[in-house]
Structure 1
Amino acid sequence: MRDDAAPDLPAPPHRRTFLRYTGALGAAVVVPSVLAGCSAGPESTNDTGGGGSARDRTLTAVIGYGNDGSWDPTQTASAFAMAANNHVYEGLLDTDPITRVPYPALATEAPTDAGATTWRFTLRPGATFHDGKPVTADDVVFVFDRILDPRTQTLAKGFFAGWLGGVRKVDSRTVELRLKFPFPDGLSRLTLAKVMPKHVFGRPGAWDEAVRGLAVGSGPYRQTAHHPKSNTTFEAFAGYNGPRRPAFRRMNWLTIVDAAARVAKISGTGAGAQIADNIPYANIARLEEGGLKVAGGTGMNNLFLMFNTRHKPFDDVRVRQALHYAIDTGKMVQVALKGHGKPASSFLNEGNPAYRRARTVYDYDPEKAKALLKAAGVSNLRVNLLAVDVSWIVDCLPTVKSSWDAVGVQTALAPQETTAVFTKMDQRQDYQVVAAASNPNQFGLDADLIMHYNYGPQNLWMGYTRWAGDPVAQQLFRDMDRAAREPDPAKKKAMIQDCIDVVAEQAVLYPVVHNELMTAWDPRELSGIRAQPYPGINLLRAGWA
């Protein structure tokens, strides 16, 4: 097969770098100047949680993702930053981290009619930002104006612009949201519009500071220090008067991407942390033997394949399908995931409320894979599989290689840091196939949100795949928009499921397996912990045991 590179193509007009969202690039240490007057100063990155006595001691958490991503709530997809921002900021409504049911946060109550086209919210009396200044309607409008501004491209825009027409100030403590059409799912999405102080982030250059780590909200915890690639510290905000009171006087969140070091930090009698996420499956038994509780959350976390549809022969749907059918997903689940996962039977995981088994399911079928490659006129195919070096993804790669090799596709594995992989994507470099991890559940559970996160004419991911101009894609985007506007919940669900059937058949960006994310904690130290089905931790309902 001819190994010809894709031609140079113009970047899509609304493409923003993945690295800006996830922040795999390094950043300088940030000590937020706006909090200098109230900051407790940097805490040691080696704080073991023993500082103070009883309930005044510091909670130490280990996060298996980098803290050097964007901290701008309107931009970020960083697991660390999103988890931290849920403790620092509030939306008008926030959602339970497990059920995702919305509850009043900065607003005093949720609208009584979720199907109305106007929602009015009154701000909580006495709500203040971490610098002591009151939260006002101007701050709410400021954030929504940024999200909806057609001249400003933010990740959050994709979650709001389709259905939200605008936000206006009624009085100093009241705002009104005008919807383009009834959209009850929008209530849970309001947690993605974290209210930020206009007097801080309206300053020139402040959004760049937010990317690098400046965080000033009205939530139960305030950021006290931020050291990229090391740790971020927090302190209970004494002025907080909302519904999720802080249980820990201080928190120190360590970023430890290396799996062995992360497990070591929470292990043994001298453990330096009380909780850690992203626990490797191979370490579960040993941690449990040491007295820790290890629990999983099943959701949409997945290994996906992404094809460059401008690089032949991956423009041919039969080739994309063949490479999916060829993968021994059962072996992958048992060997690489130690049973903590399932082969994908839809774009959505089986636990999603909108799940329906897709019309095209890539059950392991090497003979069908060979037949599809033959029908496409492809032989002697050589694939360089570019992959992120997330530990569980790397564990899955040998199964992909052996499966593809077995159907005559000579496969070279090229795992690299996420930084390197998505720098190539953002620079529009040529590639064939990418294997990476994704979990839209960190934004929400509704299928419309999940689909629009991954698919759309101006979507980041569609820019990577070079597929947005395809006639099938164009029809898909129109069908997705019609589904979003459908007022009948049952019809809407069926329409979205039909869209997912198209996504499954086309296999442009599609999951191979959905896996379980594991969290470990010391139940002798902590109570109220719930394992999340998406990266990070949420301690807003937790406390000392």
Structure 2
Amino acid sequence: MRRSSLALLLAAAVSTPALGQTLTMGAGAPSTSLDPHFFNAAPNSSVAAHIFSRLVERDARVRTFPGLAESWRAISPTVWEFKLRAGVKWHDGRDFTADDVVFTFGRAPNVPNSPGGFGGFLRMVERVEVVDPLTLRIHTRAPHPLLPVDLSYIFIVSRHAGEGATTDDYNSGRAAIGTGPYRLRSHAPGERVEFERNDAYWGQREPWSRAVWRVIANDSARTAALLAGDIDLIDQVPSSDIERLRRESRVALHQIQGLRMIYIQADFSRDGNLPMVADNAGQPIAANPFKDVRVRRALSTAINRQALADRVMEGTAAPSGQWLPPGVYSFNPAVPVPAFDPDGARRLLAEAGYPQGFRLTLVTPNDRYPNDARTAQAVAQMWTRIGIRTEVQALPWSSFSARAARQEFPIRLAGWGSSTGEASYAAINIMGTYNREQRRGASNAGRYSNPQLDALVDRATTILDDEERERVLHDVVKLAMDDEALIPIFHLINTWATRRGITYEARMDEGTRAMAARPAP
């Protein structure tokens, strides 16, 4: 029935739609806030990029280029000088200055109730010195060659609009005043965000006078809306539709190898019994079973990653055994994809004291990543076969992310895009020991902690020589994966679809934004 419906929609699609001045995007996952410092999640950053700018920007292949800073240089091992772009105006007409950067750096790591913030990117910043309104010097705690990369994640907000403002003030639009290519027009939380072009933008003029970010979480509905002409482009193209759409001349696909790892991480925050974990009689287990590396390794080797990539993802993912895909700086070729070994998994469980297994609930979002709930269901079946009777609880992303940040789940499926293109980003933010003061572990919802790993990451991020730093990062990857800090499953291949007449520059960081769409030449 699904295939027949898709065929009818393809037949009904208009052949060459006239391009209007409004670009409508169909997004598979919602942004949870317009506060650009509230949650380090791809949909939030995609929406924020329309309104706000950063000192350093990233292109589709996550390479840095000048943004609000027109240049930067290290003037000593621990001091960087940034020259800011002259003539930049906030959306309300006021001048952008270095003082706004100082305000931003103080605000970004300290947003109340953030489920996963941006403190990790500023953890090495000791102080910011304003030389003049368009020059600042950033003093770091130690040599930090990745500072420009880190700053490509921090959206700059204005002091005059942001001082005293709450996340609700950004969501209402009162404080959502940026220097980006679009101004905020309206915001219906969880449903749509509308933008209008900022004709005073400091960068390239956008071809669209208006842009609409519309959330369509249902895969079939998203494809149908594109084919019916209701929207101009969609992200997270359903894997089951890709081959058919590829053959359709009135629709274009745009793909790139993504940096996002889909992974599973257990809860390490408790030593005692966990919610939604029980023995086979339904009684709580006195000790947290996930604190035993043998249990974590059993869960990992019980997963047939190739089957998931082939059958659930239908070729739109590649099995992984670490958090970076091959070919990326600091990918460690000595860390293989774990072999599928259910018999070995049973032996590990027996060695750990669970010869008959136990029961657990795997929690997953159902509207955030391609086939997220389907992947969790398949993993649950694999775990059940080795004696761990697994149920799945699938939740909307907005609920899942908030509850995960409060450590409400015993084990969960999630995703992480290492969009810095190197290993320290994930090691600091999702595996680093949670410490708000040190700005480490901002997105470590599982509360994994390994002081040896933290120390190794700290060492790596102070090494100026790229080759030497990569060698130490290889050690970081091996240490984390040997300890099963998390269970990588696969890396996604990012796919967008557009109506004919529109091109889209596919992004490794999954960003869905009007600035990547252009009328076809």
Q: TM-score range by the shorter chain?
A: 0.7 to 0.9
User: Please, which of 489, 494, 503 is the counterpart of residue 512 of structure 1?
Assistant: 489
Distance, in Å, in 2 between the alignment partners of 1:521 and 1:360 is 36
Post-superposition offset of 1:275: 0.9
Sequence identity of aligned pairs in percent? Answer: 25
Residues 257-293 of structure 1: per-residue CA shift (max 9 Å, x gap) = 11111111101xx411111101111011333344211
Q: Partner residue of 1:188?
A: 149
Distance, in Å, in 1 between the alignment partners of 2:79 and 2:441 is 30
1:414-433 to structure 2, matched below 5 A, reads 414-429=393-408, 431-433=409-411
Q: Partner residue of 2:35?
A: 72
Structure 2 residue 147 is the aligned partner of structure 1 residue 169: no
User: Please, which of 244, 249, 255 is the counterpart of residue 286 of structure 1?
Assistant: 244
Q: Residue 286 and residue 359 in structure 1: after superposition, are their counterparts in 2 closer, same or farther (change >3 A)?
A: closer
Structure 2's unaligned 5+ residue stretches are 1-13, 274-287, 435-439
Is residue 182–residue 485 contact of structure 1 (8 Å, CA) maintained in 2? yes
Note the aligned Cα RMSD (angstroms).
2.6
Q: Residue 54 and residue 216 in structure 1: after superposition, are their counterparts in 2 closer, same or farther (change >3 A)?
A: farther
User: Please, which of 17, 27, 31 is the counterpart of residue 63 of structure 1?
Assistant: 27
Post-superposition offset of 1:195: 1.9
Q: Partner residue of 2:371?
A: 392
**Given residue 257 of structure 1, which amino acid in structure 2 is its aligned partner?**
A
Distance, in Å, in 2 between the alignment partners of 1:222 and 1:293 is 28
Q: Partner residue of 1:264?
A: 224
Post-superposition offset of 1:520: 0.6
Q: Partner residue of 1:366?
A: 342
User: Please, which of 46, 49, 68 is the counterpart of residue 106 of structure 1?
Assistant: 68
Q: Partner residue of 2:189?
A: 228
Of Structure 1 and Structure 2, the greater strand share is in 2
Q: Partner residue of 2:414?
A: 436
Post-superposition offset of 1:377: 2.0
User: Please, which of 447, 457, 470 is the counterpart of residue 480 of structure 1?
Assistant: 457
Q: Residue 432 and residue 192 in structure 1: after superposition, are their counterparts in 2 closer, same or farther (change >3 A)?
A: closer
Post-superposition offset of 1:296: 2.3
Q: Partner residue of 2:437?
A: none
Distance, in Å, in 1 between the alignment partners of 2:84 and 2:311 is 51
Post-superposition offset of 1:422: 4.1
Structure 1's unaligned 5+ residue stretches are 1-49
Distance, in Å, in 2 between the alignment partners of 1:386 and 1:56 is 42
Q: Partner residue of 1:84?
A: 47
Is residue 83–residue 536 contact of structure 1 (8 Å, CA) maintained in 2? yes
Post-superposition offset of 1:405: 2.5
Q: Partner residue of 2:448?
A: 467
Structure 2 residue 286 is the aligned partner of structure 1 residue 307: no
**TM-score of the superposition, structure 1-length normalised?**
0.81
Post-superposition offset of 1:88: 1.8
**TM-score of the superposition, structure 2-length normalised?**
0.85
Deviates more, 1:432-441 or 1:512-521: 432-441
Post-superposition offset of 1:463: 5.8
Partner SS for 2:461: helix
Deviates more, 1:382-391 or 1:223-232: 382-391
**Given residue 88 of structure 1, which amino acid in structure 2 is its aligned partner?**
I
**Given residue 512 of structure 2, which amino acid in structure 1 is its aligned partner?**
I
Q: Residue 152 and residue 108 in structure 1: after superposition, are their counterparts in 2 closer, same or farther (change >3 A)?
A: farther
Q: Partner residue of 1:495?
A: 472
Distance, in Å, in 2 between the alignment partners of 1:164 and 1:348 is 26
Distance, in Å, in 2 between the alignment partners of 1:449 and 1:160 is 12
Deviates more, 1:503-512 or 1:535-544: 535-544
Q: Residue 257 and residue 484 in structure 1: after superposition, are their counterparts in 2 closer, same or farther (change >3 A)?
A: same
Residues 361-382 of structure 1: per-residue CA shift (max 9 Å, x gap) = 4211112112211221212222
The number of residues matched between the two structures is 477
**Given residue 325 of structure 2, which amino acid in structure 1 is its aligned partner?**
N
Distance, in Å, in 2 between the alignment partners of 1:410 and 1:526 is 48
Post-superposition offset of 1:423: 4.4
Is residue 360–residue 501 contact of structure 1 (8 Å, CA) maintained in 2? no
Post-superposition offset of 1:250: 1.2
Deviates more, 1:534-543 or 1:215-224: 534-543
Is residue 100–residue 158 contact of structure 2 (8 Å, CA) maintained in 1? yes
Is residue 103–residue 110 contact of structure 1 (8 Å, CA) maintained in 2? no
Q: Residue 211 and residue 253 in structure 1: after superposition, are their counterparts in 2 closer, same or farther (change >3 A)?
A: closer
Partner SS for 2:71: coil
**Given residue 55 of structure 2, which amino acid in structure 1 is its aligned partner?**
L
Post-superposition offset of 1:411: 2.1
Residues 4-46 of structure 1: per-residue CA shift (max 9 Å, x gap) = xxxxxxxxxxxxxxxxxxxxxxxxxxxxxxxxxxxxxxxxxxx
Is residue 33–residue 189 contact of structure 2 (8 Å, CA) maintained in 1? no
Is residue 393–residue 437 contact of structure 1 (8 Å, CA) maintained in 2? no
